[in-house]
Amino acid sequence: GSLLKTGAGTVIWGSAAGTFNLLAGSLIDVQTGGFDAGSSANENWTANLSSLNVASGATVSELTYGNAQIDALTGAGSVGLTGNTLTLGVANTLTNAYNPTGIATFSGIISGGGSLTKSGIGTQILAGANTYSVNTTVSGGNLKITGGIYTDAYRTTVVTVQGGSVLELNTWSYGASQSLGMLAANVGCVVLNNGTIRMTNTVATSYGRGVTHNGAATHDESGTALWTIDVVNDNVNWTYNNNSIAL
C-alpha cells in the first residue's frame, strides 16, 4: 500500500511514539508540503521496509532522531537528518511507482547532522548536491554518486565501502562540484574493507585523496572512464593494512 501526503501544510505526530513499520513494496509518497518524520523526537523507523518518494518542493524533516531505514529513495525534494543513521535499500530496492526493480534515483538534497548507509543488493543513485555532515557507508549493493556529498563544507568524516559493495563516482577531486565534495584527504577518510570504488566519468579526473585499504580492495573504471593518479601531487595518505603505499 501507499501513504500519500498532499497539501501545503506539514503533517506531525502526537506526543506518543509513532511507529513506521510498512512492509516491503509499500511507499510513502510526499507530493507537497512537509512530512515531519520525528516531530516528537521519539518516532520509530527501525523496522520500516517501505520506499520513500519526496517530490520537488516537498520536505521530509527530522528523520533520524533514532536510526531510520527505507528501501528506495526517489524524487527531487529535501530530506533532513537529525543525529543518527538513515539506511537505504533495506528491501533490495524493490519496484514502485517511481523506480524499476534494483535501481532508484534521488535528485534532491539530503541534509542535516546524520549518517547515510546503503544496504541491500540494488543501486541507489544520489544526483543532487547533498550536505549531510556525518559518515557514509556502503555495506551492500551500489551507491552511485552522480551529484555530490559533503558539497557545502570541509568534512573530516569517513566514507567506508564494505566487501562486495561498490561506490561509483563521477569525479574524485576536491571541491563543491565533486562526487565526494569537500571530504578531507586525511588517513582514514576513505576506507575500503574489501570493497570497490569505480570511476564512471568520461572526462579525465585526478585522484586527490588518501585511502585506507583493508584486504583485497578494488579500484576500477567503467566504460570510457578516464582516471589518472598524479604521483607528485596525489601521493598522500594511501595505506594498505596499516602500511603506507608509495605511488
Largest Cα–Cα separation, the chain: 59
What's the distance, CA 232 to chain centroid? 31
CA distances from 103 to 2, 5, 98, 136 (A): 19, 23, 10, 19
What pLDDT, on a 0 to 100 scale, did the predictor assign at position 33? 98
Label residue 240 exposed, middle or buried (CB < 10 Å: 0-12, 13-18, 19+).
Answer: middle
Alpha carbons 120 and 237: distance in angstroms, whole number: 30
Distances (CA, A) of 219 to 45, 139, 198: 35, 17, 6
Residue 71 · residue 24 · CB < 8 Å: yes
pLDDT at residue 209, as a whole number: 62
The stretch 73-99 carries a mean pLDDT of: 96
User: What SS3 class is residue 85?
Assistant: strand
pLDDT at 62 over 80: yes
CB neighbours of 139 closer than 8 A, spacing ≥ 6? 117, 118, 119, 162, 165
pLDDT digits (tens, 9 = 90+) for 143-171: 999 999 999 999 999 999 999 999 998 88
Helix, strand, or coil (residue 191): strand
Does the pLDDT at position 187 exceed 90? no
Residues 99 and 116 sit within 8 Å (Cβ to Cβ) = no
Q: How many residues does the chain have?
A: 247
- Which cell goes with 178? 565533486
pLDDT band for position 191 (50/70/90)?
confident
Report the helix count and the strand count for the chain, using DSSP H and E. 0, 24
Lowest mean pLDDT among 28-32, 33-37, 177-181: 177-181
CA distance 17 to 14: 8
Give the pLDDT of residue 81. 96
Q: Reduced to 3 states, what is the DSSP secondary structure of residue 178? A: coil
